[in-house]
Amino acid sequence: MYKVNEIFETIQGEGNYTGTPAIFLRLQGCPVGCSWCDTKHTWDIQPDLLIQLGDTTQKKADSDHWAQADAQAILALFQQRAYRAKHVVITGGEPCMYDLNPLCELLHQQGFSTQIETSGTFEILAPLQTWVTVSPKVNMKGGYEVLRSCLERANEIKHPVAMEKHVQELEQLLIGLDCQNKLIYLQPISQKAKATQLAIEACMAHNWRLSVQVHKYLGIN
């Protein structure tokens, strides 16, 4: 069973799949504690805030209400809503708190591609064909370490940056990691000009890529 905060269809605004129509499945629950998190309403699982799965598609603002559903129910909701996107982004919260194999395998059988966006602090339980985006969260309030196994599994590593120490954190994480088949992104926190310039300079210096959260510039979800 998965605890679902919201489901919506939009354009992926980050990383390799930027510009791709996608169904976002946001799961509830995250103990990592990132200070700049823009989805803090997904952190806690409060039993008295349980709602029906269909209501997760009707949210007009951030809410910590959540629904519980299995993979079949989630797929059925996609079909009921007649979503046209064939790429599913599983995010959170921290989606890797859950075993994502049953959900992803079912979606693949129905012709969807899947992507996970994770902090890299929980083991990734998902099929090999699932695209894994690790946005490593280092020295956060929750005290969780970024797992080497997550970095190794990642198809892309997308690191949030606001200051030079964040670039240095990524440099340390990549030591000894085979990045030949991985995409490495820097993503400025909160689209601030100083962070963006730092990210650009670091990308040029290391031959990394820049991710700029296109959806926020466009003013869409």
Which positions make up the binding site for [4Fe-4S] cluster?
Answer: 30, 34, 37
**Residues placed in the known binding site:** 11-13, 26, 30, 34, 36-39, 91, 93, 135-137
What is the H or E stretch that residue 78 is in?
helix 71-80
**Residues placed in the known binding site for Mg(2+):** 39
In 111-204 the beta strands, taken as DSSP E runs, fall at: 113-118, 131-134, 156-161, 183-188
Q: What is the DSSP string of 102-119?
A: HHHHHHHHTT-EEEEEE-
Closest by alpha carbon to 157, among 203, 215, 117?
A: 117
Instruction: Please tell me the distance from the alpha carbon of residue 17 to that of residue 101, in angstroms, as a whole number.
Output: 21
Closest by alpha carbon to 156, among 60, 34, 14?
A: 14
Contact criterion met (CB below 8 Å) for 123 and 99: no
In the chain the beta strands, taken as DSSP E runs, fall at: 2-11, 21-27, 67-69, 87-91, 113-118, 131-134, 156-161, 183-188, 209-210
For residue 85 the two structure tokens come to: 């996107």
**Residues placed in the known binding site for substrate:** 11-13, 26, 91
Instruction: Please tell me the distance from the alpha carbon of residue 197 to that of residue 204, in angstroms, as a whole number.
Output: 11
**Residues placed in the known binding site for S-adenosyl-L-methionine:** 36-38, 93, 135-137
